[in-house]
Amino acid sequence: MATREALREAGEVMRRRLFGPGAMPDDGAPTYRGFMSEAVYGGVWSRPGLALPERMISALAALAPLERLPQLRLHVAAALDLGLTPRSILEIFLQAGLYAGFPTAETAAELAGEVFKARGLAMPEEPSGAASLSELDRRGAELMGELHGTRGREGYAAPGNAVTGALYATAIQYGYGELWFRPGLDRRQRMLVSVAAFTALGLEGQVKKFGQSALNVGLTKGEVIEAIIQTGPYGGFPRALNALALLADVL
């Protein structure tokens, strides 16, 4: 079992790996440096079970919808250093924005653009070759079935629900037919975004639905658990624990 000293040492190593010596002093929290090194960077970021770039995807998916902007700026820079492309980073924000509201995606994208510019990187252009609405309907419904099976047509997703159907048809078009087919993230990565963002936002029904569906895109149970744990420092440990409790039975 690791000691607190070992966790703190590992956390300092991870902090330097992520942010480097040129990052903001103590990552903007000098008062809590020891605690943050031990609990966040040693206790969470240094855990096995999920690759470091995927931990970063989960962290960005939690930070952006919650608009933790100073921390988001640091993590965008660190994401670039870990090999995530500007396109991938912006796609994380767009997908999380569907869940939290698109103004959060716009705010995150503007901030990311400043980081990209400082690095001499251009903002990616919008993908060309937009599909028709009928094509979004078709492939959105098809993908929803692949991801969720019969659970994709229950509750608010039930096709016969005249109330939720007023909005859910659009959600299928853009939430499945458009977002999941955009370049920059594969399905495994997009599922990490979904699980992490829903956890950080406290959307328990969606956590349960997508947490189960994550197994259908190649994520393991352990990786789903780690993605949820990764959101703890950003969205709060209670929300992460609630999400884990929801998935304890179905996983």
Q: DSSP secondary structure string, 81-118?
A: HTT--HHHHHHHHHHHHHHH-HHHHHHHHHHHHHHHHH
Query: Over the chain, what is the mean pLDDT?
Result: 93
* 185 closest CA partner among 1, 71, 65, 58: 58
* 73 closest CA partner among 87, 91, 88, 59: 59
Cα gap 66→233, rounded to integer Å: 12
Domain boundaries, the chain: 1-46, 133-176
pLDDT computed for residue 160 by the predictor: 77
- Would you say residue 23 has pLDDT above 70? no
Helix (H) or strand (E) holding 234: helix 221-235
CA angle 40, 52, 201 (to 5 degrees): 60
pLDDT computed for residue 22 by the predictor: 55
Give yes or no for a contact between 231 and 58, defined as CB atoms under 8 angstroms apart.
Answer: yes
- Would you say residue 26 has pLDDT above 60? no
